[in-house]
């Protein structure tokens, strides 16, 4: 990696969108300007690098966005970036502007792309974890998780009201194809009876036995929170099994879906996005290249991109035990 001073940087949001990405863009742009760096915004993730959709940004271009969900730069999944030829075009478009540092706000897929890119070309990349799934090692938080989980909690509380009015059992599916954090956090916070997540094996027979027993003692309101990627294949499939096995119960399924991605970011997401954006630029200035900027124990933590990609956060068994004990 060259020892050249980074003086022109590009920022992009890539992969799945997450509330708080705008706050991170704002922090990157304003910190860059503070340090006298030129800063460019890339539209639609790696697609904008390949299509040459790269525009200079100033302090004003990130005004009035800290509270907005989505991302002003837009985001995308870009198949051409998987190919060396696509990444070469992307590099040419950056280098013709003299851009010599990149900040990628996204999930582990986006970091894989950044890692490959910085290995192939002499251009340092910094990752900021922006994903509602919280499935990245090296950070207690990822931008968007707190907002998404609060959206899920608000929705599940409402479902509980109607479940209570009718004595119904509700199966609620929340997002998380590979990670159960939204299910686990929202399920505990709403008092769910069962939480089904990809990281742990579901004992369907035990769950049915427990719901049957609760039915006998007239515990009529039951909430089962299911991550979309649990081993049974999400809320509809779990609902179908329960309807078949518990024919006397009044069972409904609710898929929360994309509302979990939208909305104004929570205070926590705005704060971590601001801190991570600020530190990402500091990393480029200080020569801490090809790292992800995370927060652990309320301190900034830098994790090499290759480690952030490989390692996953583990779900603690203690949490799963808490669910069982508190829902009895």
- What are the residue numbers of the active site? 133
- Shortest spacing between CB 86 and ligand ADP, in angstroms: 8
Q: Which stretch binds ligand ADP (CB under 6 A): 31-39, 76-84, 195-203, 292-300?
A: 76-84
Establish if 74 lies at the interface with ligand ADP (CB under 6 A).
Answer: no
Q: Applying CB under 6 A, does 13 fall inside the site for ligand ADP?
A: no
* Beta pairing class for 101-106 and 8-13: parallel
151 binds ligand ADP (CB under 6 A): no
Residue 161 neighbours by CB under 8 Å, 6+ apart:
none
Which residue from 170, 195, 193, 185 is spatially nearest to 132, judged by alpha carbons?
185
At closest approach, how far in Å is the CB of 160 from ligand ADP? 31
How many angstroms separate the CA atoms of 283 and 302, rounded?
9
Among 78, 179, 227, 273, which residue sits at the site for ligand ADP (rule: CB under 6 A)? 78
DSSP for residue 143: B
Applying CB under 6 A, does 245 fall inside the site for ligand ADP? no
Determine which residue in the list 31, 71, 93, 110 makes contact with ligand ADP, applying CB under 6 A.
110
77 binds ligand ADP (CB under 6 A): yes
CA angle 44, 49, 50 (to 5 degrees): 105
Strand order in the sheet with 222-227: 194-196, 222-227, 169-174, 251-255
Residue facing ligand ADP at closest CB distance:
109
Q: Which long-range contacts (CB under 8 A, 24 or more apart) does 247-250 make?
A: 248/215, 249/168, 249/169, 249/211, 249/215, 250/166, 250/167, 250/168, 250/169
Site for ligand ADP contains 109 (CB under 6 A): yes
SS3 229: coil
Does 290 sit near ligand ADP (CB under 6 A)? no
Binding mask 130-149 for ligand ADP (x = CB under 6 A): -x------------------
For residues 59 and 119, which CB has a smaller minimum distance to ligand ADP in the complex? 119
| Of positions 106, 198, 235, 277, contacts ligand ADP by CB under 6 A | 106
**# residues contacting ligand ADP (CB under 6 A):** 18
Tell me the three state secondary structure of residue 266: coil
Asked if 69 is part of the footprint of ligand ADP (rule: CB under 6 A), the reply reads no
Query: Closest CB to ligand ADP among 143 and 284?
Result: 143
Return the number of the residue (15 or 229) whose C-beta is nearest ligand ADP: 15
Identify which of residues 190 and 290 has a Cβ nearer to ligand ADP in the complex.
Answer: 290
Pairing mode of beta strands 299-304, 291-296:
antiparallel
Nearest of 140, 62, 20, 45 to residue 102 by alpha carbon: 45
Cβ atoms of 93 and 49 closer than 8 Å: yes
Binding footprint of ligand ADP on the chain (CB under 6 A): 14-16, 45-46, 77-78, 81-82, 106-110, 112-113, 116, 131
């Amino acid at each position: 990696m060259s020892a050249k001073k980074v003086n022109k940087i590009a920022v992009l949001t890539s992969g799945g969108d997450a509330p708080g990405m705008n706050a991170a863009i704002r922090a990157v742009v304003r910190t860059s300007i503070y340090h006298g760096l030129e800063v460019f915004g890339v539209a639609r993730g790696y697609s904008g690098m390949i299509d040459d959709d790269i525009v200079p940004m100033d302090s004003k271009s990130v005004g009035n966005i800290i509270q907005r969900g989505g991302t002003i730069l837009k985001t995308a999944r870009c198949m051409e970036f998987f190919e060396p030829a696509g990444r070469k075009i992307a590099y040419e478009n950056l280098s013709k502007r003299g851009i010599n540092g990149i900040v990628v706000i996204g999930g582990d897929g986006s970091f894989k792309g950044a890692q490959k890119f910085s290995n192939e070309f002499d251009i340092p990349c910094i990752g900021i974890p922006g994903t509602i799934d919280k499935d990245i090692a090296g950070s207690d938080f990822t931008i968007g998780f707190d907002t998404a989980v609060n959206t899920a909690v608000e929705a599940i509380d409402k479902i509980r009201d109607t479940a209570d009015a009718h004595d119904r059992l509700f199966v609620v599916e929340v997002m998380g194809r590979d990670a159960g954090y939204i299910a686990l956090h929202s399920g505990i916070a709403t008092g769910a009876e069962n939480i089904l997540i990809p990281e742990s094996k579901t004992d369907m027979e035990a769950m049915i036995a427990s719901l049957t027993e609760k039915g006998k003692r007239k515990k009529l309101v039951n909430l089962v929170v299911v991550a979309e990627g649990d081993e049974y294949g999400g809320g509809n499939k779990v609902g179908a099994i329960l309807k078949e096995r518990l024919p006397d119960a009044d069972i409904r399924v609710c898929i929360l879906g994309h509302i979990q991605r939208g909305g104004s970011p929570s205070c926590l997401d705005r704060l971590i996005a601001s801190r991570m954006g600020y530190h990402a630029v500091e990393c480029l200035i200080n020569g801490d290249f090809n790292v992800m900027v995370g927060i652990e124990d309320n301190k900034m933590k830098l994790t090499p991109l290759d480690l952030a990609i490989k390692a996953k956060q583990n779900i603690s068994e203690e949490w799963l035990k808490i669910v069982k004990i508190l829902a009895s």
